[in-house]
Structure 1
Amino acid sequence: MQPKEPPPPAPDMFSLVDRPADQYQDFAERAPEPDAFSWRVLAIRAALQQGDGATAGQQLDLLRRQASPPQQATLVLLEGALALTQDNPEAALQLLGPLDSSQLTRSGTIYYLLLQANALEQRQQPLEAAKALIERQELLGGGDREANREHIHRLLQPLSPQSLRQAQGPGNSDQANGWFRLMAILNNGNLQPAQRQWQLQSWRTTYPDHPGQAYLAGAPAEQLATSAYQPAHIAVLLPLSGRLAEQADAIRNGILSAHQGQGSRLSFFDTNGRDMAGLYQQVQQAGADFILGPLLKEEVEALLGLDPAMPVLALNLPAYQPGLPHFYYFALSPEAEAAEAARHMWDQGHRQPLVFAPNNELGRRVATEFGQSWQQQSGRPAILAYFAGQGSIESDVRRALASTGTPPPAAAGVIQPLGDGAWTGAPEPIDSVFMVTNATETRVILPYFDFVRDSRAARLPTYVTSRSYVPDDEAPMSELNGLQLADMPWIFDGAPQLREEVESLWPNAGISWQRLFAFGYDALALIPQLTQLRQGAPAVPALTGELSVSPQGVLQRRLQWMEYRNGTWLPGGN
């Protein structure tokens, strides 16, 4: 008897199946390892492709007994594929869910994502299935990319524009958000031609290399112009009634003051209790060509979802900013002030700050932002500590100052409070303090840092934000001497002529009202400079700070740093 010829070298086990299952099995019986394993995998895949689940299951049982530990991930993929042929997508997803795809080869990952997508599609979850295919797209080449792209399009084409808009968010990749936004436009049969054209041009500008460009063959190819805005009619969206009416009135007066002498028209729309879709339609019918506002995060998110066909300067910062070329965000954010403090303290030469914040939602949020910004600046974490209330301030300060260690790595946004069981071994002692406190808390807490350390020792440089501002007309408080505070220049007698006018018109306006007035003033005054700032023009001085614009359209403020001395705020630390 003549010995059988050895089979050809085994191809990739996740390559195209183009032979009958029995031929692959014959090759497996004649091949040495590891080729034999690859041929067996191909034989099982071929049996599944032929609809012979019984044979595939028998061969999988045999393979399971022979497989080595590194081959277990491949067995899980085959088990998931078998479950799909048995119309059991739930079992397939239970098998695939815990699988660590980093153990797979590139081709194995491609196969894994296809199995996930098919299982989700069988479960009537087209959005999740599309996400798996979108991730798969980046790994493919040649004709496979086109087939995968068509599969994505086929999944998303029946979905409503509303569901596609709601699917967009920061948890998705840019490619996924691009698909969802594009299909929300293409699936919307109620759009006016001009609005559809604007939205598609905006999408092209945002996603110039997206595979979805293939479905815009008949759409205008030019990108949206990015010249300076000179609106003729500005629609201002504010909650002019309801619980925020007083704050909206301050912003409105700032807008009106900045608008003096301008030729454009202003129209104010009350957002309180209004549906954003209906309000936007009213804005369009009024002939507006620019939107200033809205003020609340949920309103900004609702307007974003409508993909408005005109430039927008929103007065808040939602969690997800999709980077639309004509959408801008402006907010007086305590988190942004914390990031500014981290930058300033690094520039001042500090290397191991202590963050002391109240143990509540705002305190944790602001402390997290400072910590993340400090990590970016310095490559090392800040020390985060929390106080519970006035009754435990002394013990909280003692624990904070005793915690001179560096925290272990943590997931983004996770705060690790100091106290019992804190880490140890920081290479540098605490050299500065950032306090997330209001004015009353600052007055109470600051003396404890002197008392706990040593009243004879020099005070640790201490920094606060605008929440700790103390007006100059209050009695001097020596315990605050040396405190450094960041706030908008407007508060420190910036623009004296405008300040005199404001004080004559609103003599009883408090500090919060004045900040919101400056916010509204800057928002309107900055409109003609938005595009140039987004393209990298130098920051411009304004009432609320030195303003620049990020590539995503977020207005960023550099604040003015002042030092408290005997009842007066004096320039210092800039």
Structure 2
Amino acid sequence: MPTRPRPLAHPVTRRALMASLLTLGLALGGCAQMATSPQDDQRKAAQTQVDQAISAEDPVALARARMALSQTLSGAARAEQQLGALETAIDAHELALARELYQQADTEGRWQAINARRAAIARGVGEWSAGNPDQARQTIHRIPLPLDADSERRRLILLGALEAELGNPLAAARYYAAVDDRLADDQRQENHARLWNRLTEVPTDRLRRAAEDTTDRQFAGWVQLALTYREQPGQIDRWMADHRSHPAIDSGFIEMLGAAAPVGQLTAPAATGPVAVLLPEGERYAGITREIRAGIEYARDNGALSSRELLFFDSGSDRIGANAAIEQAQRAGAALIIGPLLKDQLGALAALPADGPLAIALNTPPSGESLPVGVVSFSLSPEQDAAAVARRMWTDGHRRAAIFSADHRLGERTREAFANEFELLGGEVVDRARFASGQTDFSSELRDLLRVRTKSDDGPFQPIIRDDLDAIFLAASGDELTLVVPQLDYFGAEDLPRYGLGLAYNGNRDPRGDADKDGVIIPIAPLLLAGTAGPEHPLRITYEQAQLAGSLPRLFAFGADAAALAGRMDTLLQGGTLDGLTGELSVTATGVVERQPRWGQFRDGLIRPVDPTPGAALPDSITSPTRLPGTTSPDATMGGADQPTLTP
């Protein structure tokens, strides 16, 4: 039957044109030469942040740094920096940031004198930030043409995003197609994903009309590709032959499209045959491999793989080692492969033939890349944890949240995953702040984030915080939490519910080390809750087995669940769920294993289970995999032999 195009996940690349950043750097250089003033030190510090953002090719940091630099300037220089900050955010398609920066600007009256067309684009951003996307679209549409190349690129980006928000996906796709050849190479794949995702929303009959009516050959090619994928997926090769110079081919988008194949293209493994496990055995990864392997063997010994033979192969630490291990597994007649483990090795799975063994990769691919067709991806993804936190926060009744996150890549990824899910549910991220890696004093950031004030100027410090927050999400590691939480309490947020990531707990009892995390609720693997429970806990024996394997029981649980997935993949591909040691597992249409965790809270230095919120439920449109009639609850299925069990 016809296959509806599936949306593609945007690559998480945030890099803008290097040439543009260098140009900005040259343009900003004059600021450092200004006459000294009482603000000279502050200006130099802000200029340093700008220079660092340019050197790191980080447009998000650059946009924020330019706005910060503007606060040390006055007059036309201040206005130019603020206008430039907005434009930097637009160029990176960070449109939420652009709207945020507009709210911080205070020089709008000067922008017209700088450049009338640039000012009009910024005015449209302002109208959008005020909740008037239709008026913003009209403002930007009315800008007189022609525009310089940079302004035209920004105009098209904004119009595409505005049409998408206003529910006009075909119009949005047209703008994204129009802006494509104006983007840097490292931005085009992300733009193609946006374009494709809009086309997936267009009904088939409208796509057919668009294919007939459009005079733009490039956009017509996109529409025809969408129709081909939806109605005749076996004819993609013919489309490629007819569109040899199309951007979808030049950028490698067609390969990315293949990774979005429907779940029907994931083939259940053969009923018999060995399971091959590909793990790195070198000294660098010895500890990790030992614990994952122990978990796999534990699951095997408890029946997860039935009578299948289990074979282990050294995948080395690079693509060559992974290729060799895959070849060994195929020669051994493996019906199913678990691994490889390292991100850069996952591409080697593309060598597997269509009728070869099903592979369960133990990681997600590097940023901007996709898994080969027919491969399942299982990982302990912090982004999945962050999205789960958003859902938990919602079910706990919280609707307005703040985010306090580490200012590094993991902090950014989890911060965005949380915000996207929380806002999708209908919640509001009221405010957010970052702290630097290695920072120990968060006074300034927390004062600003919590809007701390005191009851009186005299007497002891009695802080009062803002009243528009229901909870706070702390995207931080365990070591960072031990520093942040006491300072939250000091500044008056001791009663503000706080949530964190699963990586904040390593799975081992440490009352002294965890004492300063009190009150934080985190997603947690069911196995780890057994560590602070009594001997009667159904997973206590399994937890003790994990402790014997090493110091990271979470990896033991990961290995055990990988084996359990392998043993029940045929049922999972039909929509079943698996109650595992890391959480409730299911397989999405694109082959990603989704993990619904349990919940724990730090109390007096120990992690304790937190029950579901009574009577709470997610909106009907956001649901986890449905449990089939007659199946038991996760608590019940954790009994017996202490092994992961499957919901049929």
Q: What is the TM-score of this pair, normalised by structure 2?
A: 0.52
The answer for unaligned runs of 5 or more in structure 2 is: 1-139, 161-168, 183-188, 200-206, 226-236, 454-465, 531-537, 613-648
Counterpart AA for 2:344: E
Is this contact kept in 1: 2:516–2:605, CA < 8 A? no
1:409-458 CA-partner distances (Å, limit 9, x unpaired): xxxxxxxxxxxxxxxxx9x711212212233322222121122127xxx5
The residue aligned with 1:139 is 210
Structure 1 CA distance for aligned equivalents of residues 211 and 585 of structure 2: 43
Change (3 A) 1:206 1:481: closer
The residue aligned with 2:290 is 249
Q: Which has the larger radius of gyration?
A: 1
The residue aligned with 1:153 is 240
Change (3 A) 1:323 1:532: farther
Change (3 A) 1:480 1:288: closer
Structure 1 CA distance for aligned equivalents of residues 294 and 175 of structure 2: 58
1:344 deviation in Å? 0.4
The residue aligned with 1:171 is none
1:163-205 CA-partner distances (Å, limit 9, x unpaired): 979814xxxxxxx448x75xxxxxxxxxxxxxxxxxxxx99x7
Structure 2 CA distance for aligned equivalents of residues 401 and 490 of structure 1: 35
1:130-182 CA-partner distances (Å, limit 9, x unpaired): 99x9999883249x9999889843367799xxx979814xxxxxxx448x75x
Structure 2 CA distance for aligned equivalents of residues 346 and 515 of structure 1: 26
Change (3 A) 1:447 1:256: same
Residue 562 of structure 2 aligns to a residue whose secondary structure is helix
Is this contact kept in 1: 2:268–2:358, CA < 8 A? no
1:298 aligns with 2:298: no
Counterpart AA for 2:359: V
1:402 aligns with 2:443: no
Structure 2 CA distance for aligned equivalents of residues 366 and 71 of structure 1: 35
1:460-510 CA-partner distances (Å, limit 9, x unpaired): 11122223227435349765443323211111116223234444x44xx21
Counterpart AA for 2:556: F
Alignment of 1:447-458 (within 5 A): 447-453=486-492
Q: 2:595 aligns with which of 553, 557, 561?
A: 557
1:362 aligns with 2:410: yes
Structure 2 CA distance for aligned equivalents of residues 553 and 243 of structure 1: 29
Q: 2:565 aligns with which of 500, 508, 526?
A: 526
Q: 2:394 aligns with which of 323, 326, 346?
A: 346
The residue aligned with 2:279 is 238
Residue 453 of structure 1 aligns to a residue whose secondary structure is coil
Counterpart AA for 1:244: Y
1:549 deviation in Å? 2.0
Q: 1:269 aligns with which of 313, 326, 346?
A: 313
Alignment of 1:457-468 (within 5 A): 459-468=495-504
* Greater Cα shift, 493-502 or 248-257: 493-502
The residue aligned with 1:568 is 606
1:167 aligns with 2:252: yes
Change (3 A) 1:109 1:489: closer
1:246 deviation in Å? 1.7
The residue aligned with 1:258 is 299
Q: 2:522 aligns with which of 477, 485, 494?
A: 485
Counterpart AA for 1:295: L
Change (3 A) 1:285 1:166: farther
Residue 278 of structure 2 aligns to a residue whose secondary structure is strand
The residue aligned with 1:311 is 358
1:281 aligns with 2:317: no
Residue 442 of structure 1 aligns to a residue whose secondary structure is helix
1:335 aligns with 2:388: no
Residue 496 of structure 2 aligns to a residue whose secondary structure is coil
The answer for unaligned runs of 5 or more in structure 1 is: 1-69, 77-92, 121-126, 169-175, 182-201, 208-222, 405-425
The residue aligned with 2:631 is none
Structure 2 CA distance for aligned equivalents of residues 107 and 439 of structure 1: 45
Change (3 A) 1:365 1:323: closer
Structure 2 CA distance for aligned equivalents of residues 114 and 562 of structure 1: 46
1:379 deviation in Å? 5.0
The residue aligned with 1:414 is none
Structure 2 CA distance for aligned equivalents of residues 71 and 450 of structure 1: 50
1:523 deviation in Å? 0.5
Is this contact kept in 1: 2:318–2:345, CA < 8 A? no
Is this contact kept in 1: 2:279–2:339, CA < 8 A? yes
The residue aligned with 2:441 is 392
Change (3 A) 1:96 1:468: closer
1:547 aligns with 2:618: no
1:388-421 CA-partner distances (Å, limit 9, x unpaired): 35453122211111299xxxxxxxxxxxxxxxxx
The count of residues paired between Structure 1 and Structure 2 equals 408
Q: CA RMSD in A?
A: 5.1
1:98 deviation in Å? 8.8
The residue aligned with 1:172 is none
Structure 2 CA distance for aligned equivalents of residues 564 and 114 of structure 1: 50
Structure 1 CA distance for aligned equivalents of residues 570 and 428 of structure 2: 35
1:571 deviation in Å? 2.3
Change (3 A) 1:224 1:267: same
Structure 2 CA distance for aligned equivalents of residues 440 and 571 of structure 1: 21
Structure 2 CA distance for aligned equivalents of residues 550 and 384 of structure 1: 31
Structure 2 CA distance for aligned equivalents of residues 256 and 166 of structure 1: 42
